[in-house]
């Protein structure tokens, strides 16, 4: 097995482990076009909420 194939398998196993433990969306790949609905609580500060994306 070439080293790159072994690294790819190890990466996929690590990602699967994190996803299983922390749920979908815990790790997102750059360029992945997914939007997750998450619960948010406004802070009362419009500037802070906008910076956080609330």
| pLDDT tens, position by position, 1-53 | 566 898 999 999 999 999 999 988 888 888 876 777 778 888 989 999 899 88
Question: Residue 30: its pLDDT value, please?
Answer: 82
Question: Residue 38: its pLDDT value, please?
Answer: 78
Radius of gyration of the chain (CA): 17
Instruction: Kindly state the helix (H) or strand (E) to which residue 3 belongs, with its residue range.
Output: helix 3-22
Distance between CA 16 and CA 10 in Å, rounded?
10
Question: Residue 23: its pLDDT value, please?
Answer: 87
Distance between CA 52 and CA 46 in Å, rounded?
10
Residue extents of the structural domains in the chain: 3-52
Distance between CA 25 and CA 18 in Å, rounded?
10
Question: Residue 33: its pLDDT value, please?
Answer: 66
Q: Within 13 Å of residue 36, how many CA atoms lie on the same side as its CB?
A: 10
């Amino acid at each position: 097995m070439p080293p790159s194939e072994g690294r790819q398998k190890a990466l996929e196993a690590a990602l699967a482990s994190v996803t299983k433990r922390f749920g979908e969306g815990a790790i997102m790949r750059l360029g992945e076009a997914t939007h997750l609905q998450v619960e948010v609580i406004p802070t009362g500060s419009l500037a802070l909420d906008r910076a956080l994306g609330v």
